Structure 1
Amino acid sequence: MYARNLRHRIAFQEQSSTTNAFNEKIDSWNDVFETWASIQTISGKEQYLSNQNYSTLSHKIRVRYSVLIDSKQRILFNNRVFKILSVLNIFEKNQELEILCEEVL
């Protein structure tokens, strides 16, 4: 993996839950860490359900290996949110991760 290919600054976020004064559950997303990545759009899809149009884009995001990354997190890039579908350790070498994501528009 060449550093020149990692030109997008992304943040990995984890979901946390707290309760307010009325004992209601409040979910929020907190940054775990930021890193450089390459983002490649794989495919797009549009659906029309219940009189509403839904668009989704599939992406492949590559980053340097980190033990902090798992599929329960999400990725934030320039106010765009990516849901992590899978995390692949390329050739099991612990050098590079390929993350398959979905962006709902």
Structure 2
Amino acid sequence: MKHIPKPIVEQKKLNTGEMRNRIEVQEFVETVNENGYPVEDWQTKHHLWAKIKTVKGSEVIKAAAEVNTETYRFIVRYTEGLNAKQRIVFKNRIYDIQAVLNDDELQNTQTIIAVVRKP
């Protein structure tokens, strides 16, 4: 019987049922209005389905003030062009993207690490 070696990296099956949250990925762009003046604003670049997980809640004392940081992990299908200059909007909350990771370098899913923006 001939032995067939397993691939070094096995591709994980994507469970799309876990991706039940619709998020918006926005990008800060500068456009020109009808009067010819530059206008800077956030524009939606992608609507994505995501699995959302809480990563941590950490409290840090800075300048005698307590700051609470809420970090989340958004797992999405691989999407070209996601980067840390963008932000996520989900349920009227804004999340600043800290990092975009290509899971297992397989271009199957990406993990977006983001922090809730404080008002």
Settle same-fold status: TM greater than 0.5: yes
2:19 — aligned with what?
A: 6
Is the Cα–Cα contact under 8 Å of residues 55 and 104 in structure 1 kept in the other structure? no
Structure 1 alignment gaps of length 5 or more: none
Encode CA deviations 1:10-45: one digit per residue, 9 max, x unaligned: 000000235787x7x753111001010011111113
- 1:39 equivalent to 2:23? Answer no
Q: TM-score, normalised by structure 1?
A: 0.82
| Inter-partner Cα distance in structure 2 for 1:49 and 1:104 | 17
Match of 1:73 among 65, 72, 86: 86
Q: TM-score, normalised by structure 2?
A: 0.74
1:61 — aligned with what?
A: 74
2:10 — aligned with what?
A: none
Q: 1:17 to 1:54 in 2, by over 3 A?
A: farther
CA RMSD of aligned residues (A): 2.3
Larger relative CO (CA 8 A, sep 6+): 1 or 2?
Answer: 1
Q: Say which structure is richer in strand.
A: 1
Structure 2 alignment gaps of length 5 or more: 1-13
Percent of pairs with identical residues: 30
Q: 1:55 to 1:18 in 2, by over 3 A?
A: farther
| Inter-partner Cα distance in structure 1 for 2:60 and 2:93 | 20
Equivalent AA in structure 2 for residue 60 of structure 1? R
- 1:100 equivalent to 2:113? Answer yes
| Inter-partner Cα distance in structure 2 for 1:39 and 1:6 | 8
Equivalent AA in structure 2 for residue 80 of structure 1? R
Q: 1:99 to 1:60 in 2, by over 3 A?
A: same
